[in-house]
Amino acid sequence: MVLTCDVSLLYPDVCLSHITLSDPWRNVAFDLTSFSGYPKCDHGLAEDWYRFTGIGGDVLPESCVLSNRGGTDTPLWLNDSHPPLGVGVRGINVCSTSQDKCCSGTFMMNVLACPEGYYVYYLGQPSCSQSFVVRHSNCTASSCGPCAQCTDNGGCICSPGFRIPSGHLPTGISYGCTDINECEETPQICGNNANCTNTAGSFICTCQGNLIPWPSVDWQINVTNEFEDLCILNSLNSMIENITSAVLPLEAATTLLNVTLSTLGSLTESNSVNSTEIAKAGNAVLQSTEKLAALVVSSMPTNKITISINTMELCAFVVLPGANLSKTLQLQAKDNFIDIDLMGIAEKNSGEAAVVFVTYSNMERALGPNLFSTEGDTVKTMMSSVVSASLPMTPNAELTAPVNFTLKHTSVFVNNSELTCVYWNRSAWVIDGCSVSESNATHTVCTCSHLSTFALIMQTERPREDNSFIKLLGTVGISVGLVFLALTLLTFICCHWNPKVNNTARLNLCLCLFLAHLLFQLVQTFLSQIRQCQLACAVVSGVLHYLFLASFVWMNLEALQLFLLVRNLRDVKVIKKEGLHWGLLLFVGYGFPCLVVMVSAAVFPEGYGNEECWLKTEKGFRWSFLAPAGYVLACNSILFMGIIGYLSATFADLHSDISQMRDTRIMVLKAMLQFFILGCSWILGFLASDSRILELLFLFFSSQQGTFIFIVHCALNKEVSLWSPHTVKSQQRRLAKGGLLSQFHITPETFLPTALCFRHFRISAT
C-alpha cells in the first residue's frame, strides 16, 4: 500500500507565509574573512520555513562549497538536487564543509518547490560557526547588484577594476564593490614619461610632451628581425583598437597615424612577409585610421581640420545644428576630392554629422591591384591613390544621395583599357555599388552608393604569345582527325562485322568525338564573332561540355565491353556476342553526361562561356568536367589492367591452339593501343598547362584520336579487309558451295545516338 501526502493540507501556506533571508554575504563566491563578526553563524535561526532572496542568491548550492565562503568557515549546502514542482516536501541531506573537507557532517532538511518558481527550506538550528550559503539559480546582468557580475556557478564577484574593501561586510542591495585606483597602487603602471589617470574600473595612460604610447614587444629567441615591423604594427593596431578614451588630442593622433603608416610602408618593402599577411596588416591599418579619425572629430576645435603627413592626408568636416551649408560639400585630400550631401545626412541625425576623407600615399603597396579578381586574364594597374571616407559621430549613416570621388590618375592611361572603381571589403577589391561616371586623361569620377575605402584600377589585355604555329597545327590536326573519324563512322555503319563484336559503344564514341572536334574547330574559327553574344558563347560551351563528357563515358563503356568479352575467354570455346544491351548503352552513354551538364547549369549557370567559350574557373566550375573525366580515366586504367590480367591467364591455357594464341596476342595489342588512345592522350591535357612540349603532344594525340581508331579498328581489322567487293564475292561462292550461306540472313536495325539516324546491319544465326 502506497501512502501519499497532500502538500496543501499539511503545509497550507508555507509558499505564501515564510521568512525571507536576503544577506549578500551568504553568496558562495564571497570569500572575505576580515570583517567584524567572522565567522557568521546561523545557530540563532528559529526553526521555520525560509526563502532566500536578494543579490546573494535564491537557492542552496548542490555541490561542495569550500571553507571560508559565504561569510563562514563551515558552509552548509545540499548533497542532492532540489525537488521538482508537484512532488511535495522532500527530505534532503545537508552537508557541512570544515577545513575544506566536503561533507564532514550531515543532517536532514525539508525542501519544497513552490508554484511561484522558488524554493522554501525548513531550517533548523545548526551548530555555531555553521551557516547556510546560497547561489543564483539564474544569472542576469543585475543579479549581483552594481559593479559586480554573476559567475557560471551562481557566485557574485566584483567587475574588473573593482573590489570589495578589506573588512567590508556586504549588506542590503550592494556588495560594496569600489573602484581600484591603479594609479595610486602602482605608480609606474604607465611606465616612464607617462601620466596615469584613474577611471571607473580602469585607467588611462597619456604620454608626456610629444611622445606616443609604445607597446612593449617581447622578441622571440631565434626569430629574425625581418618580422619586427609586422610585430610592431600588430601591437600598434591592437593598442589603437583598445583605446577606451572618448577623445584623443590632435597631436597624439597625428603621431600615431604617422608611426602606423610608416611601419606599414616598411613592411611592404620586406621580402620575408607574404602578400596575404601584408594585406591583413593593411586592412588593420585602415580600421585603426578610421578609429583615430573618429576620436579626433570628437574633439575638433573648429568645424574643419586637416592632418597632412608624408604617408597620408586627412580632411574632416563637422556640421552642427543650425549650420548653413550648401547642398553638396566638397573636401580635398591631396589631389583627390569627395562630393557628399552632408547636410542631408545631418538632417536625419538631429542636425549633426561629420565626414572624414583620407588619401593614403603608400596603401596601394599593401592592398595591390592583384587583390582584384576578374574573369579575364588581364594586367591590373593601380591608377589612383587609395582613399577612404567615413561618417563618425553619425548614428544614421545612410546616404541621401550617391557620393562622387574624383581620383587623380597616378599612372598613364593605356588606350583600349578598362577603368574600374573598386572598394575594399576587408580582404579584396570588389566593384559592388561603384561605377565610373566620368573620365579624362588625368582624372576619373567614381560614383558610389556607400562609403568605404576606394581606388581606381586599370585593366589591360595581357599581351598574348604568338600562337600562330599552335593554331595552324591544331587546325590541320583536327581536320585530319575529322576525316578519319568520318571514315571510321562510314566503316562501322556499312561493314559486316563478326557477330561476337558489339560496336555500339565504339560507333557512338566516334560520333561524339566527331561532333565535339567539329564544333570545337568551328568555335575557334569564329571565336571573335561568337564572343559578341554571351548567350551564344555559353550555349556553345555547354554543348562542348556535353559532347566531351559523352566521349569519356563512351570510352568507359567501350573498355567495359572489351573487359566483358575477354573475361569469358577461358570459360567458352566459341565466343558469343558479349556485353550490355545496346539500348542500355545508349541510355548510359548519353544520359549520364546530360545529367552532369544539367546539374552544373542549375548550380552555377554563369559558369559557361569564358573568353574561349569554354568553362569558367570561378567556384571550381571546371571540376564539373575534370572530375567525371578523371573518374573515367581511373576506371579505364582498372579495366585495362583487368583485361591484361585475364589475357595473361588465358595464354597459359592455349598451349596447342596456335590460331587462338595469335588472335589473343592481337587482342592484347589492341587493348594496349586502345588504352593509349582513350586514356593517355587525355592525361597529357592535365599536364600541358606549363609545358610547350606537353601541349604539342596533347594537341597531336587528342586531334588524331580518330586516326588511331581508324587504324586500329578498321585498317588492321580482318573483317574490314574481307569487305572488299572481290573478297566478298569469293567468300559468297565459297559459302554457297559449302551450303552455309542459307544459314544466315541480314536484318536492318535502327538506333538514334543523337538526332541523327544511322542504319547498320547485324548478321544473326537463324
State mean pLDDT over 210-226.
42
- Where helices occur in 299-431 by DSSP H, the ranges are 342-347, 363-366
pLDDT reported for residue 571: 56
pLDDT band for 691, please (50, 70, 90 cuts).
low
- Residue 200, pLDDT above cutoff 60: yes
Q: What is the 3-state secondary structure (H, E, C) of 242-286?
A: CCCCCCCCHHHHHHHHHHHHHHHHHHHCCCCCCHHHHHHHHHHHH
Buried b (16+ CB within 10 A) or exposed e, 530-552: beeeeeebbebbbbbbbbbbbbb
AA identity, residue 250: L
Q: With bands split at pLDDT 50, 70 and 90, how would you rate the model's confidence at 728?
A: very low
Average pLDDT, integer, range 530-556: 89
Mean pLDDT, residues 336-358 taken together? 92
**Spatial distance between the Cα atoms of 86 and 577, rounded to a whole number of angstroms:** 81
Q: Residue 747: which pLDDT band, with cuts at 50, 70 and 90?
A: very low
Given a contact cutoff of 8 angstroms between Cβ atoms, the answer to whether 205 and 194 are in contact is yes
Q: Coil, strand, or helix at residue 282? A: helix
Percent of the chain with pLDDT over 90: 35
In which residue are the cell numbers 594609479 written?
183
Burial of residue 158, with CB atoms counted within 10 A of its CB: 0-12 exposed, 13-18 middle, 19 or more buried: buried
pTM score above 0.85: no
Joined grid coordinates for residue 72? 563562514
pLDDT at 436 over 90: yes
Q: What pLDDT sits at residue 645? A: 78
Q: Residue ranges per domain, the chain?
A: 1-178, 225-461, 468-765
Q: What is the residue type of 736?
A: A
Residue 739 has pLDDT above 50, yes or no: no
The pLDDT tens digits for 619-678 are: 788 889 888 888 888 887 888 788 777 777 766 665 545 555 555 556 556 656 766 666
Contact status, residue 88 vs residue 5, Cβ threshold 8 Å: yes
- Please say whether the dihedral angle defined by the alpha carbons of residues 136, 142, 148 and 149, taken in this order, is positive or negative: positive
Joined together, the cell numbers standing for residue 532 give 559578341
Label residue 590 by pLDDT band (50, 70, 90).
very high
Which three three-digit cell numbers place residue 103?
A: 561533507
CATH number listed for the domain at residues 468-765: 1.20.1070.10
Q: How confident is the model at residue 714 (pLDDT cuts 50, 70, 90)?
A: confident
Does residue 39 have a cis bond before it (omega within 30 degrees)? Answer: yes
Average pLDDT rounded to a whole number, residues 133-153: 93
Percentage of residues in the chain having pLDDT higher than 70: 79
Q: Looking at residue 351, what is its pLDDT?
A: 86
Average pLDDT over the chain, rounded to whole?
A: 80
The average pLDDT across 526-533 equals 82
Local structure of 621: helix, strand or coil: coil
* Residue 605 to residue 601: CA distance in whole angstroms: 4
Of residues 637 and 10, which shows the higher confidence score? 637
pLDDT, greater one: 341 or 650 = 341
How far apart (Å, rounded) are the C-alpha atoms in residues 156 and 144? 6
State pLDDT tens for residues 349-387.
888 899 999 999 989 999 999 899 887 668 899 999 999
Q: Is the pLDDT of residue 600 over 80?
A: yes
CA dihedral (63, 67, 70, 75) in degrees, to 10, reads 60
Class of domain 225-461: mainly beta
Residues 493-512: tens digit of each pLDDT: 776 555 555 677 878 888 99
Question: Which grid coordinates are listed for 610?
Answer: 569564358
